[in-house]
Amino acid sequence: MTSVVRIAVPVPLPQAFDYAVPAAGPLPAVGARVRVPFGNRTLVGICIEVDPHDAYAEPKALLEVLDERSIVSGDVQRLALWLADYYHYPLGEVFAALLPNAALKGAPLRLRTEEIWRRSGTAAPDLSRAERQQALLAFLDRNGGWASGKAIRAAGFTSAMIAALVRKGAIEAGERRFDGEQPPRLTADQQAAVEDYRQRLDGFSPNLLEGVTGSGKTEVYLRAIADVLGRCDQVLVLVPEIALTPQTLSRFRRRYGATDVMHSGLSDQERLNAWLRCRDGQAQILIGTRSAVFTPFRQLGLIVVDEEHDSSFKQHDRLRYSARDVAVKRAQDLNIPLILGSATPSLESLENVRCGRYRHQRLSQRATGASMPSMRILDIRGHPLREGLSYPLTAHIERHLDAGGQVLVFLNRRGYAPIYLCADCGWQAACGQCDARLTLHQGRRRLACHHCGAEHPVADACPSCGSAHLMAIGAGTERTEEGLRERFPGASLIRIDRDTVRSHRRLEAGLAKIGRGEPGILIGTQMLAKGHDFPNITMVAAVNADAGFLSADFKAPERTAQLLIQVAGRAGRASRPGEVWIQTLQPGNPALRRLIEEGYAGFADHELSIRRRAGLPPARHMALIRAAAADPAAAAAFLAKLKAKLPNDLEVLGPAPAHMQRLANQHRFQLMLLADRRGPLHRSLRAMTSATTPRGLRWEIDVDPADAL
């Protein structure tokens, strides 16, 4: 009798597909990869069932069984089924999101030996004339004393530099290094948190670790991890962005040695190596960004989510999962503890604390004993601005530079200017594909859309009236840097944003220069607001804080407050006190005043009360249905048709145009669904997945959206 297997195929269809197993071929295990014909293509899918009772009567034959056994653990298989159900996404594409690219391509799952270079035990040679070799040693130090040859070359160093340091005896080939760094003494708050975790290693225990910036949350993670490793279990640590990976990796490697990483900056083989080492139990600790939450482990004993509030944990296309929420689900299924850490916890996590679902540990003092920076409002009404900066603000910057301090100028807007217009006829540079203005990038002489990526050269004359009187209005990081260079010509200036840091090498070099403590000014976007430790920064200037508090998105004030507190926390982390100046045109804004006067806790309590009164998350559950088409009427009509079929126990708003209705020549509309309980919401969403999609239209379901626009 011919066996039939049910395969999850990576296609945008909700069902799995049945295939016959050739009589001469092996029977795939559940969780094994197979190669199957699909239409005129050949795809790699995952076996999810053998001989289903409702098998298709005349299935096609599969082409090849790629694995002798399941390649993913049973808990990851169950996680995939939950993801498909909760986020209403095709199971085959869920498995595609869970697997490394090399596995999806059908490659053999073999671990390849890495070329490892590490600092030798001898004294460092004189490298005063070899700046790049010095930089390579510094790179190794930041990575815990060792790195793979591939990682070294990806950071911009060459094989010749490696060979030169080998000849000088500074580095040597070897295995992953373990230094066994001596841990620091814990504060009373840290010790209390660690003791609390030690009592709850044998079951599901979700914990919110709320600690002020610089309070030593990472040290608490490290101590909790020591107890887990002592039981021969593995640990998963999630960080929101690649930018945080090097410094976190360095801390962990200095303490525990062999720590693996997983993020989008790795090659397919590097990701596969880390995936296999975790699955087979060879890796003790994995530090990774969002998708690392799907990694299989032989014996996972703890999950840590650092900066749990960060929106980078939410996937914003395709499978729109939240890595933080998936981590909670995974810890619950595995019956293991979970630590969510942040100085500015999400309102969702604070609501879970209020309802008794999460335990709450607090670190109220900085680990070094340093005082928290003072936060002050700088009222700039009536003050002329030069490249976005007021005179009182530059006077404060000058005072800190004269005292030998570093200053961080925070402006969450990259480019030179957000508006480029003609002073004679009023023409504005706008994107031809989006309802958005083009941003001027002066250094590259380009006008760029930060939404669809379209770029155009900067014209010397107005395309509408021919005038040469063109003006840049507003300021981004590039223009602010120009203004600061003019105001402080002798100061060292470093700008870090998506335009200047297009590689790990540039990011590493910029962060290293700041870390050396030289007096100067650091200009950056939110890339610098997360987790970095700059001990010599004594002042933070927030240049454009008003926009977030005035947004139509009800979640924007929360994100803005988190960002301000996080960036403020970069100041005064060492012995010298820090201060924060928030430049604003709305000094009386209630949300801003509450944040300054009552801190993040007071702000969050008030914001939660507003959400409850308005019936908004986290008090209720939300999903957005988004549709996009070249014809706006088609998108609106499709959503109206879906709305007509929804039950009365849901609150439904829309169809309404998205905040930016036209994006990449697609007109976007959305439905907002709100419910008191998850059950009715998800039943309605499941019924929608069978809807027939008109030609030329795309639509998607976003459960627990990170933004409402």
| Model confidence at 586: pLDDT above 70 | yes
Amino acid present at 451: H
List Cβ neighbours of 91 (8 Å cut-off, separation of 6 or more): 8, 14, 16, 48, 80, 81, 84
> Rounded CA gap, 139 and 495, in Å?
20
- Asked if 88 and 49 count as a contact pair (C-beta separation under 8 A), the reply is no
Length of the chain: 709
Give 453-471 pLDDT, tens digit per residue. 999 999 889 999 999 999 9
Residue 512 confidence (pLDDT): 65
Q: At 703, list the tokens.
A: 């459960």
4-104: what fold?
GIY-YIG endonuclease (3.40.1440)
Q: At 250, list the tokens.
A: 């360095």
Cβ count near 610 (within 10 Å): 13
Q: Which of 52-61, 165-174, 321-330, 442-451 has the lowest mean pLDDT?
A: 165-174
Residue 465 confidence (pLDDT): 96
Give 13-24 pLDDT, tens digit per residue. 989 999 999 988
**Peptide bond just before 618 cis, omega within 30 deg:** yes
Report the half-sphere exposure of 29 (CA within 13 A, side-chain side).
Answer: 11
> Rounded CA gap, 393 and 193, in Å?
39
Q: CA quadruple 313, 314, 318, 321: dihedral positive or negative?
A: positive
**May I ask the CATH architecture of the domain 188-363?**
3-Layer(aba) Sandwich (3.40)
Instruction: List the chain domain ranges.
Output: 4-104, 116-173, 188-363, 374-415+475-613, 621-703
Cβ count near 25 (within 10 Å): 15
Residues facing residue 118 across a β-bridge: 146, 172
Q: At 234, list the tokens.
A: 């593995």
The stretch 571-580 carries a mean pLDDT of: 79
The stretch 336-359 carries a mean pLDDT of: 98
Under the banding of pLDDT at 50, 70 and 90, the label for residue 397 is very high
Residue 614 confidence (pLDDT): 96
List Cβ neighbours of 51 (8 Å cut-off, separation of 6 or more): 3, 4, 5
| Model confidence at 245: pLDDT above 90 | no
Report the half-sphere exposure of 505 (CA within 13 A, side-chain side).
Answer: 11
| Model confidence at 533: pLDDT above 70 | no
| Model confidence at 277: pLDDT above 80 | yes
Nearest to 447 by CA among 428, 465, 464, 466: 428
| Model confidence at 217: pLDDT above 90 | yes
| Model confidence at 2: pLDDT above 90 | no
Q: Where is pLDDT greater, at 177 or 215?
A: 215
| Model confidence at 221: pLDDT above 80 | yes
Residue 264 confidence (pLDDT): 85
List Cβ neighbours of 399 (8 Å cut-off, separation of 6 or more): none
Under the banding of pLDDT at 50, 70 and 90, the label for residue 519 is confident
What does the mean pLDDT of the chain come to? 91
Q: Do domains 188-363 and 621-703 have the same CATH topology?
A: no
% of the chain exceeding 70 in pLDDT: 95
Residue 530 confidence (pLDDT): 64
Q: Where is pLDDT greater, at 498 or 555?
A: 555
Give 642-671 pLDDT, tens digit per residue. 999 998 889 999 999 999 999 999 999 999
Cβ count near 164 (within 10 Å): 17
Residue with tokens 């069902």, as numbered in its chain: 15
Residue 34 confidence (pLDDT): 97
Residue 275 confidence (pLDDT): 96
The stretch 501-523 carries a mean pLDDT of: 67
* Residue spans of beta strands (DSSP E) within 88-170: 116-119, 146-148
The stretch 377-384 carries a mean pLDDT of: 93
Q: CA quadruple 418, 422, 424, 427: dihedral positive or negative?
A: negative
Residue 244 confidence (pLDDT): 66
Q: At 479, list the tokens.
A: 């223009």
Residue with tokens 């070094």, as numbered in its chain: 368
Q: Where is pLDDT greater, at 224 or 503?
A: 224
Class of residue 208 by CB neighbours under 10 A (exposed 0-12, middle 13-18, buried 19+): buried
Under the banding of pLDDT at 50, 70 and 90, the label for residue 505 is low
> Rounded CA gap, 288 and 677, in Å?
33
List Cβ neighbours of 100 (8 Å cut-off, separation of 6 or more): 268, 271, 272, 275
Domain range 374-415+475-613, CATH class: alpha beta
| Model confidence at 622: pLDDT above 60 | yes
CATH superfamily, domain at 621-703: Ribosomal protein S10 (3.30.70.600)
- Asked if 93 and 318 count as a contact pair (C-beta separation under 8 A), the reply is yes
Give 115-148 pLDDT, tens digit per residue. 888 888 777 788 878 888 888 888 888 777 778 8
